[in-house]
């Protein structure tokens, strides 16, 4: 069975919406997600600190009992924080200030040497590294050459595709990417935009090690509670 890493960014989004309230707090939200069976907790510390704050990451490191996955841009500031926090995995993502959420995968081919430096620095701290990439075999092969430990396949194009043909085409790319990464002995995570409906499409795709899901789970949690929201997603993943 594939794992489920629950992204708690949007608990922090709700907190930051009022600027100065201490609630809701992503730290107890992570505890609830773990108690419901989550295999890991994800937090994205963005350069603009729009949701997760430094304090969250440091506290999550102290409280997360499964594994803590830190999503971050490949910047000096973030490498320093990761070195200090020592997450169980760093997922490197591209960041643009104006985007609503991470819009595309890393261009591993173009970023080449600078990305390699970041991966080497994190490996020097014994932190494994995953690269968030579009479902493109050329990017995945480049990730292998960079010595990444894993990739996370960006499922946004599949989730956003409108119409059966577009959906099928986008999902075929996800399948090919997952198989390509597995052939190259890279760990394979997948995420972005996945919900209680789109997850069902992954039935039979055994190459995915773990799904990284935030928005849909936190949205359901707002209505039915974190425990139920995480358990509902886990039940669907179990069926895959
Ligand atoms: N994976 C990565 C690399 C992301 O940047 C995000 C969004 O923060 C997710 C997964 C989770 O996406 P969503 O919140 O749409 O489930």
Ligand 1: does its nearest atom lie under 6 Å from the Cβ of 40?
no
Ligand 1: does its nearest atom lie under 6 Å from the Cβ of 44?
yes
How high is the pLDDT of residue 95? 83
How high is the pLDDT of residue 97? 66
Low-confidence ranges of the chain (pLDDT < 50): none
Tell me the per-residue pLDDT of 186-232, one tens digit each, with 9 for 90 and over.
999 999 999 999 999 999 999 999 999 999 999 999 999 999 999 99
Ligand 1: does its nearest atom lie under 6 Å from the Cβ of 201?
no
User: Given 95, 152, 192, 207, which residue is catalytic?
Assistant: 192
How high is the pLDDT of residue 175? 98
User: Cβ of 91: how many Cβ atoms within 10 Å?
Assistant: 26
Ligand 1: does its nearest atom lie under 6 Å from the Cβ of 193?
yes
Ligand 1: atom nearest CA of 91 is 3
The C-alpha atoms of residue 125 and residue 142 are separated, in whole angstroms, by 22
**Are 139 and 173 spatial neighbours (Cβ–Cβ below 8 Å)?**
no
Identify any residues that bridge with 4 across adjacent strands, giving them in sequence order: 211
Residue 130 DSSP one-character state:
E
Residue 41 DSSP one-character state:
E
Asked about 44 being catalytic, the answer comes back as yes
Q: What is the dihedral of CA 24, 219, 193, 214, to 10 degrees?
A: 40
How high is the pLDDT of residue 18? 93
How high is the pLDDT of residue 101? 65
User: Given 10, 34, 44, 154, which residue is catalytic?
Assistant: 44
How high is the pLDDT of residue 104? 86
Upper half-sphere CA count for residue 219 (Cβ side, 13 Å): 8
CATH code for the domain in which residue 12 is found? 3.20.20.70
Full domain range(s) for residue 228: 3-238
Query: How many folded domains does the chain comprise?
Result: 1
The C-alpha atoms of residue 130 and residue 145 are separated, in whole angstroms, by 13
How high is the pLDDT of residue 96? 74
């Amino acid at each position: 069975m594939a794992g489920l890493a629950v992204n708690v960014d949007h608990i922090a989004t709700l907190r930051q919406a009022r600027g100065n309230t201490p609630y809701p707090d992503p730290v107890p939200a992570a505890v609830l997600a773990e108690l419901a069976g989550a295999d890991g907790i994800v937090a994205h510390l963005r350069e603009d600190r729009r949701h997760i704050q430094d304090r969250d990451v440091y506290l999550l490191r102290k409280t997360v009992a499964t594994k803590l996955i830190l999503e971050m841009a490949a910047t000096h500031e973030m490498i320093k924080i990761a070195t200090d926090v020592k997450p169980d995995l760093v997922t490197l993502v591209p960041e643009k200030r104006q985007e609503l959420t991470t819009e595309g995968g890393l261009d591993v081919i173009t970023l080449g040497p600078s990305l390699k430096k970041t991966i080497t620095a994190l490996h020097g701290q014994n932190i494994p590294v995953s690269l968030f990439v579009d479902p493109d075999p050329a990017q995945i092969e480049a990730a292998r050459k960079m010595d990444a430990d894993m990739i996370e396949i960006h499922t946004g194009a599949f989730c956003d595709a409108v119409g059966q043909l577009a959906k099928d085409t986008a999902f075929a790319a996800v399948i090919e990417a997952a198989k390509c990464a597995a052939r190259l002995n890279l760990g394979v995570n997948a995420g972005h935009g996945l919900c209680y409906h789109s997850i069902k499409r992954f039935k039979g795709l055994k190459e995915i090690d773990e799904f990284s899901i935030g928005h849909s789970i936190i949205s359901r949690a707002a209505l039915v509670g974190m425990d139920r929201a995480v358990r509902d997603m886990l039940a669907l993943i179990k069926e895959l």
